[in-house]
Structure 1
Amino acid sequence: MRRIGLISDTHGLLRPQALAALQGCDALIHAGDIGPPELLQRLRDLAPLTVVRGNNDRADWARDLPHTALLPVEQVLVCVVHDVKELPLPAPAGVRVVVSGHSHRPGCAERDGLLWVNPGSAGPRRFKLPVSVGELLVDGAAVEVRLHTLDI
């Protein structure tokens, strides 16, 4: 079984609680709105990182980041995009899971044969939404999602 940590919308704030929750993951996904690039290095120090650019990632360093990325995990293909409205439809062939950010709302839903996952925002609190991260547990072709509200 592979454990893939999910984080999004850090907006420059990488909380120790988020780092602790992602500790021990086999790989990490950051679904955009990152903040300074040093934040990505702190995540890469934990595990291999797949990252996409968010709508607020406008600095020169972020121009090389893709808008979408594909990550194969065992028998599951994960597509990462910041805003689901930017996902090319139909989704790329073979995609089973779509990980996104942007809304700051953690959630998971099965629609049209895809598992849609948003880990929520791990950065500054927005409105009364929780501060959260998530994880995908992948075992062969089986996927389990866990969303974690951070105790801040």
Structure 2
Amino acid sequence: MRIAVIADIHGNALALEAVLADLERRGGADRIVDLGDCASGPLWPAETMARLEGLGALTVRGNHDRWVGMLAPEAMSPVDRFTHDALTPAQHSRLGALPIIADVAPGILAFHAGPEDDCLYLIDKVVEGELVRDRPEAIASRLGRLDPAVRLVLCGHSHRPDCAQLGDVLVVNPGSVGLPAYKVTEAPAHVSESGAPFARYVILDWDGATPRLDFIAVPYAHEEAARQAEAHRSPGWAEALRTGRRK
């Protein structure tokens, strides 16, 4: 089975189209798995949702999907409120109703951040204001007990492409399709930075036992995306989209 793994699109329709075109050039996939945070961002949420609705991907719910789909508008952050207002009530309902966790195939489990917490950093920890890969024992503790048949875990949320081997289980984060860096101001304040303005995803070839992973970075019209963020009064997003970094 060949699986394309995408995550954290955040309403960046240009980046999503670039990833899908790149996937097609590489021969496509038997299944596309979307690890959530689909539309939230000061970019093209409605266009992103329309594209995803026709894609037939297996999608799990991210924290922003939950907030946009389930919170009262007055309780949302400005970016989530922008996204909410750009989508239809039916799209709000679809985001809110996405599953938290899904079996992709025998031996493969997918969720956005953690198996029970959609805001958890699974692979990463905050060190001196930056996300870095944590020790295997700490990752295993956060992951908790899995079905013994699970050999591959797919997660997103941190926007950092990475993988970690935990005994017989490999944890894979494909990175972010649509937002290569971000800044968190709540304690512990930190940044997540991929360091370059590419759209990221993974192609996974799976024979039921041994995965082969291709981590892919796709160039796209990131300057246009940055200008769209600026037009919607989001200079921090524009910086991240242009550089893959945040101050």
Q: Indicate how the Cα distance of structure 1 residues 50 and 93 shifts in structure 2: closer, same or farther if over 3 A, else same.
A: farther
Are 1:108 and 1:145, in contact at CA under 8 Å, matched by a contact in 2? no
The 5-angstrom pairing of residues 1-152 of structure 1 reads 2-14=1-13, 15=15, 16-23=17-24, 24-35=28-39, 36=45, 37-44=49-56, 49-57=57-65, 58=67, 59=69, 60-61=92-93, 62-72=95-105, 76-84=106-114, 86=116, 89-127=144-182, 128-129=193-194, 130=196, 131-152=199-220
Residue 21 of structure 1: how far off its partner (Å): 2.6
- RMSD (Å) for aligned C-alpha atoms: 2.0
For structure 1, the residue ranges without an aligned partner over 5 or more in a row are none
**How much identity, in percent, do the aligned residues show?**
33
Once the 2 structures are TM-superposed, how far is the Cα of residue 140 of structure 1 from its aligned partner? 4.1
Deviation at 1:142, TM superposition (A): 2.2
**CA shift at 1:108, angstroms?**
1.6
TM-score (norm 1): 0.84
Tell me which of the two structures has the higher relative contact order, counting C-alpha pairs closer than 8 angstroms and 6 or more residues apart: 1
Q: What is the letter of the counterpart of residue 105 of structure 1?
A: R
CA distance in 2, matches of 1:108, 1:21: 22
CA apart distance, 1:83: 0.5
Given that 2:175 and 2:201 are in contact with CA atoms closer than 8 Å, whether structure 1 keeps it comes out as yes
Would you tell me which structure has more strand in proportion to its own residues?
1
Q: Distance in 2 between matches of 1:86 and 1:64?
A: 16
Residues 68 and 81 of structure 1 are in contact (CA less than 8 Å); yes or no, is this contact kept in structure 2? yes
Q: Could you tell me how far 1:112 is from its partner in structure 2?
A: 3.1
Deviation of the 1:85 alpha carbon:
6.2
Aligned partners of 1:40, 1:95: CA distance in 2, in Å? 27
Contact 1:21 1:133 survives alignment (8 Å): no
Please give the secondary structure, in 1, of the residue aligned with 2:37.
coil
How many residues get paired?
144
